[in-house]
């Protein structure tokens, strides 16, 4: 339930008042979610094309996610109102676990592509679940706590 007494919590990692973290997460999220479909394509067809695409998606998801996490971390540690929110810390912890798994998945694909089945696909599915959870928590920060948005009074 939304808090009727909420106030805007401004982002410190922003350009012209626009928070960078929510701007930067879209491509990594899309890459890590699409990776599941890519892995299923490889499992179903055994076509090496899916291995190559999966390598790129895993890399974009992991590296892009870590870059986006810089802006999120700046906000978490420098804005007291965010730092006091359990939701902010929960979002950060889930994101670190998810990005660690995504990075490990990328390394598996880079060094041992034959391990995509079964380990790569298993990690992709777990990562996708964590992406969804982190996104839900991020949505709570925006819609329930007004992080990075203007609230009309």
Q: DSSP labels for the chain? A: ---TT---B--SSEETTEEHHHHHSHHHHHHHHHHHHHHHHHHHH--HHHHHHHHHHHHHHHHHHHHHHHHHHHHHHH-HHHHT-HHHHHHHHHHHHHHHHHHHHHHHHHH-GGGGTTHHHHHHHHHHHHHHHHHHHHHHHHHTT-BTSPPP-
Q: Is the pLDDT of residue 32 over 70?
A: yes
Mean pLDDT in residue range 40-61: 97
Q: Is the pLDDT of residue 152 over 80?
A: no
Q: State the pLDDT at residue 35.
A: 98
Q: Is the pLDDT of residue 64 over 60?
A: yes
CA-to-CA dists, residue 2 to 6, 10, 64, 82, angstroms? 8, 18, 31, 16
Q: State the pLDDT at residue 136.
A: 98
pTM above 0.95, yes or no: no
Q: State the pLDDT at residue 5.
A: 60
Q: Is the pLDDT of residue 1 over 80?
A: no
Q: What is the pLDDT of residues 88-143, one digit of tens each?
A: 999 999 999 999 999 999 999 999 999 999 999 999 999 999 999 999 999 999 99
Q: Average per-residue pLDDT in the chain?
A: 94
């Amino acid at each position: 339930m939304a808090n009727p007494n909420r106030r805007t919590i401004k982002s410190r990692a922003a350009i012209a008042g626009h928070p960078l973290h929510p701007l930067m997460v879209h491509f990594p999220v899309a890459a890590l979610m699409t990776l599941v479909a890519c892995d299923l394509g490889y499992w179903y067809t055994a076509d090496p094309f899916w291995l190559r695409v999966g390598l790129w998606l895993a890399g974009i998801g992991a590296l892009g996610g870590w870059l986006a996490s810089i802006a999120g971390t700046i906000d978490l540690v420098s804005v007291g109102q965010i730092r006091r929110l359990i939701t902010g810390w929960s979002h950060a912890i889930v994101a670190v676990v998810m990005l660690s798994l995504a990075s490990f998945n990328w390394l598996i694909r880079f060094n041992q592509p034959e391990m995509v089945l079964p380990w790569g696909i298993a990690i992709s599915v777990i990562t996708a679940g964590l992406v969804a959870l982190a996104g839900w928590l991020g949505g709570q920060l925006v819609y329930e706590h007004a992080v990075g948005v203007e609230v009309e009074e």
